[in-house]
Structure 1
Amino acid sequence: MIKNLIRVEDASSPSTGKVFGFLQLYKLVMDLELCIYLPGMKLLGIFFSLICLLTWSCSATFDDSIDDVQQLNNVLDIKDSLRVQRDISCNVTINHYLWPAINLTSSYFGTNFSKMQLDSIDALLELGYMRLEFDIYWDSTYEIWELCPVEVSDKNSTEDQTINQFTCTIHSLEIFLGSINRYLVSTQVPKAPLKTNLVMLILHIHGTDNQSHPLTLLSEIISKTIISSTAYTSRIYTPNDFIYDQKNKPSNSTWWPQWIQLVERHFQLLVGFGEIQAEVNSSNKTMSNEGILFGAGTFGVPTYFENSTFVQDTCYKALENPLSEPPSWSLVDKKNQSLNSAEISQVIHCGQSPMLDISVSSTEYRDLLQKTIENTLWSWDEGQPPKDNKVACAAIQQSNGRWRVEDCSEQLNVACRHRNEPGKWVVANTTASYDQAFLVCPDNYLFDTPRTAWQNQQLFYTIQRDYIDPSTEEKSQDRAVWINLNSAISAQCWVVGQSDLCWWLNKAILILFGFFTWVKCARLWRLRRSNQRKRIAQHMLARRDYVTVPYNLLVRGPL
């Protein structure tokens, strides 16, 4: 269904954007001030090909024959903004990362478990849902795991089968995981770093009787279907990997890695148990360390949004205390119905992840499918940042807490974060340009930018409470405050600090630097050997004795 609603394109890299970014990277390499020798057009072609290969990949689209491709275009319009938001949140630990969630059983499949529906799940991931929860059932007749709650009548048929009101197909789990794998391969860092993200699968286990269910087989199916990365390592972050990371954790408490730490190690997928409503072949309903699935509840369970006081009771108490971060793996659902647009926005700004859980037959389904992703954009204001490819800096608006682009020479107040407390902010009393903003924060504070919606909300409340426009000595609703974010390298690359690069450019720049260093060294090495050979020849000639004959003797002979 989703595949019929949207046409997935790499909106962040149109042809003009590629050319600009291409030239920006070329300029950056030239700024390294290396004396580069390029012997001929062949090496020049290799140089440009290498840049293209390491930094940008061709955009991929679904077949042009797909109907209604413009239904969710306004979601695609914010993909650039969402990518910038992803980049600045890359150092956030995954337990506090924003995971837009969806209950696939109710909000995607319904009664339709056809091959086409199963094979189109990658389009839902392209839309922006990163946490997928669904039910799986043990088929005791054929001894396989299936997503359809009823058994198919013909196990030898590869066609869709209708049983009661359900449309099912055999080996539905494998088809589903194949679509997940296709998305992971198409968005891996070497191929499409602008689209790379982490995906989480939560499996709710069901059985038809009281027999033991082979969870080992479930792990084998997942491991077999999700192929290894280009680095020949598993894409799945497992309990064993987590235990290994715990050995070097910074404290005695449970510690989760940062988003970027997983991506740099080529991990793209986390898999865990949800509810387990069956007798399973396990002593404690959790996988052993040898498995790939995390135990039930490891990645949190939904907190139910029961009434209008939920946000006031659970969220704003945390917001009033900047030293208290939102709970780990905080997920919010609304039992028997879905969060509306306003509630989704409130939940996200409180540092929690919303779950879409509404029947596919609901009249609100398509609108909420879109609105949930739109509301995950907690940072940029509407229409920001503009696509004008100019060097620009970012500021947070006092009116709504959203960000907008400002000229870097503008004189504004500065947002300063406490060095040890991510939720504690102050606004510097003095105004400064962006370049000077690094010098005006008080002791124990630094010029910074919010990395999560909760941090942004803390800064917004600080500005609302304390910020006084020095020109009027009263609170101003149209002023903005500098945050530490700029696009000095490229309009596609917004970074914190004056000399940083986007994480997806770092490796490319290092490889290019090494490539050009090798070219220069190879040239110097050739020149050095050539000079050595010349000196040796000159030395040998100088040591030889010459017998010379007058020219006239050679012409006229002896007298």
Structure 2
Amino acid sequence: MSVQYDSAETLLNATWVAVLLSERDVAGQIPLNYVTNSAVSLSTACFGNRIYDREDAAKCFSNLLSIGYRRLVVDLYWSVNRRTWSFCPVSVPVKSGVAVSSDVSNTTTATASADPATITGNDDSHGHTLYELGSYKCTDDIDPYILADVLVGFFRDTNSRLTVYTTYLVLNLHVAASDSTPDEPASTISGGQLPSGTELAGPMLGSALDDFIYSPAQLTSDRSNLNQSWYKVEQGYMPITEYFTVHENEAGEQSTPDGWPSSKYIQLAKRDRVLIEYGSIDSQLVGYDLSTGESLVFPPGTLTSSVEVSATTNGTLTSGCLYEPGLTRVSQTNSSWAISNGIPVPDGLSTDETMASLSNVLSGVTACGLSPMLNTTLFGQTADQQVEHYRNVSLSSSWAWAIGEPHDAKYGGGDGDPKYDRCAIMDLTLGGHWRSTNCTEQRHAACRIGNSPFSWVLSDTTEYFSNVSDTCPPGSSFAVPRTGLENTYLYNYLLSLPETKVDLSSTDPARREVFLDFNSIDVTSCWVSGGHGAKCPYASDPQQLERRTVLVAAIAGIIILIITALTFFVKCNANRRNSRRRKRVIEGWEYEGVPS
């Protein structure tokens, strides 16, 4: 029986939706391998209590996707007797006489080492049998198709331009322990015991998610002729070439040996949603065939470059940071697919103190160009039991905005209304995080030198936002950082300037704050770069609407309820006023949803 994606959990408020959407959009042309994403281990976040239940797992997967986790590290265990993959580390016994399908030459019949009734002691809350296998409790249907079903539902539920994000799966493969020795390491398997054909984990998930996959075969094809792939789309979808190597042949055809597409190309031009990679493969699976799934699944290490990190409780990384003063080119850093080996969780602190420390560390990790990896069961509760802590960790991985920003996200605003703060500044007193401020303030501009991701210069004079792009020195242009690492280079450059230009203790805000090329002047909560006149791309029909406010799901739901109540009230009053009329015409309200 299939499960479904449960979208009950959300990001809670308009501000957080604006944060993730604006960070996604500002990094939209950065190649995928340099964009940081919140990562989580399903083994700890969903199964840290060692209970492997089908419905609870589906709820946990749904929650993690809903609250912003984009990279899922998946531990799968091959059950030899069932000839299937499972999230459970122990092979659940098969009832006597049950035939188990196999891709080897013959269909085999597996017999349980004991009758299941003597192994299980209770049912779960959904009426399924939980097999007690040593320290584990597992249902017999906890297979990878649960994750596939949830992902398909998630992709279909989030397919508008406002809600689409790229997801990454990393498959760590193991052999399930025997049910007779559930807490002992699994034995090495070989020959006909190994999975083959459609039993292989990569092809299994790849086939289930085939409509949404950006595959190794697609990457190879795209790289071979950029003129017919990444350069054939709108300019705003093209990846920024300073992040990879480009070769050009005599015919003018361009190719790249190391480039990756941008998220805008993947999500909006190709309409793909997921990339799958093999992670670690246990020695007990030494004969596992990686070649069969190579058209769908990337080989180990393609999408992951693990970096050892350590940090103080205030968030300062003592090792692992990819920021190095003086570097100007991406090739000088080791930030491609960089991911932390795990977020250090301090011991002996209260819940609030622990979360505050984690928030600081996560902010430091993303600022250093690393995707933060959560591989801890937070406070002993899985994400289906207590989603709040996992949501806070996900949101703390934001690299751009300060906490509570952009604070204009909840306002409707109006055209040209200056009382709403619709322009972004980097606030040096907030560690380089951003705030939304009044566009009629006067500030210096952050200007990128050439097209270099890491080279910045400050404008010589201050100006209103509408004119500040004209103040950038020759050879530079008004710009906005597009990744956490770019932001760190700008922040540290500004701190290096003499006190005559930058002084954190000054009472003059112009010496502590710098305009960035990012604003929501056109539409509230729709943050765009391109100067004062930049337009929001999410207006569904410009001929009918000159402006369209971007509404998040929570706000939209409230508005719908209000309109429904008002409409009902209006109709009731109209009925009373016109009770003697058989025919009447009521002009109703038409609700316009979020543009897609």
TM-score by length of 1: 0.70
Distance (Å, rounded) in 1 between the aligned partners of 2:286 and 2:271: 31
The yes-or-no answer on 1:213 pairing with 2:195 is yes
The Cα of 1:161 is off from its aligned counterpart by 2.1
The answer for unaligned runs of 5 or more in structure 2 is 99-115, 117-126, 177-187, 227-245, 248-255, 347-356, 417-421, 546-596
Structure 1 partner of 2:278: 273
Aligned pairs for 1:142-181 (under 5 A) are: 142-154=82-94, 159-164=128-133, 165-171=135-141, 172-181=143-152
Distance (Å, rounded) in 1 between the aligned partners of 2:300 and 2:390: 27
What does 1:160-559 correspond to in 2, within 5 Å?
Answer: 160-164=129-133, 165-171=135-141, 172-189=143-160, 193-208=161-176, 209-211=188-190, 212-214=194-196, 216-217=198-199, 218-226=201-209, 234-249=211-226, 250-251=246-247, 252-264=256-268, 265-277=270-282, 278-279=284-285, 285=290, 289=294, 291-306=295-310, 311-315=317-321, 317-323=323-329, 324-334=332-342, 340-359=358-377, 362=380, 369-385=390-406, 386=408, 387-390=410-413, 392-400=422-430, 401-466=432-497, 468=499, 478=509, 479-498=512-531, 499-505=533-539, 508-509=540-541
Q: Which has the higher helix share?
A: 1
8 A Cα contact 1:119 1:179, kept in partner: yes
| Aligned partners of 1:417 and 1:445 also within 8 Å | yes
Q: 1:467 to 1:395 in 2, by over 3 A?
A: farther
How many residue pairs align between the two structures?
435
Match of 1:528 in 2: none
Q: Give % identity.
A: 23
Cα distance, 1:306 vs. partner?
Answer: 4.8
Q: Equivalents in 2 of 1:307, 1:408: separation in Å?
A: 37
1:222 to partner: Cα distance: 1.8
1-side partners of 2:78 and 2:526: how far apart? 46
Instruction: Give the letter for the 2:285 counterpart.
Output: E
Structure 2 vs 1, CA of residues 146 and 474 (structure 1 numbering), >3 Å: closer, same or farther? closer
Are 2:343 and 2:372, in contact at CA under 8 Å, matched by a contact in 1? no
Supply the distance in 1 between the matched residues of 2:508 and 2:389 (Cα, whole angstroms).
31
> Once the 2 structures are TM-superposed, how far is the Cα of residue 490 of structure 1 from its aligned partner?
0.8
CA deviation map 1:146-175 (0-9, x unaligned): 111112234689934222232322342112
Equivalent residue for 1:91, pick from 29, 35, 50: 29
Q: 1:148 and 1:464 mapped to 2: Cα distance?
A: 51
Secondary structure of residue in 2 paired with 1:492? coil
Q: 1:469 to 1:395 in 2, by over 3 A?
A: farther
Structure 1 unmatched ranges of 5 or more? 12-72, 229-233, 514-559
Structure 2 contact 310–320 (Cα < 8 Å) conserved: no
Q: CA deviation at 1:422?
A: 0.7
How much does 1:488 deviate? Answer: 2.6
| SS state at 1:414 partner | strand
The AA in structure 1 aligned to 2:9 is V
- Please tell me whether the aligned partners of residues 322 and 333 of structure 2 are also in contact (alpha carbons under 8 angstroms): no
Question: Whose radius of gyration is greater, 1 or 2?
Answer: 1
Q: Which amino acid aligns with 1:123?
A: N
Q: Cα distance, 1:270 vs. partner?
A: 0.8
Q: Against the structure 1 CA distance between its residues 202 and 312, is the aligned structure 2 distance closer, same or farther, given a 3 Å change threshold?
A: same
- Paired residues of 1:215 and 1:281 also in contact (CA < 8 A): no
2:324 partner SS = helix
The two structures have a TM-score, normalised by structure 2, of: 0.66
2:67 alignment counterpart: 127
Q: Which residue of 2 aligns with 1:39?
A: none
CA RMSD of aligned residues (A): 3.4
SS of structure 1 residue aligned to 2:69: coil
Q: CA deviation at 1:477?
A: 7.4
2:77, 2:403 → 1: CA distance? 43
Separation of aligned partners in 2, 1:511 and 1:296: 49
SS at match of 2:217: helix
2: CA distance between counterparts of 1:503 and 1:246?
A: 28
Is the contact made by 2:444 and 2:461 (CA closer than 8 Å) also made in structure 1? yes
For 1:65, the equivalent position in structure 2 comes to none
CA distance in 2, matches of 1:471, 1:152: 64
Paired with 1:450 and 1:467, the residues of 2 have a C-alpha distance of 22
* Counterpart position of 1:536: none
Would the alpha carbon gap of residues 467 and 6 (structure 1) be closer, same or farther in structure 2, given more than 3 Å must change?
Answer: farther
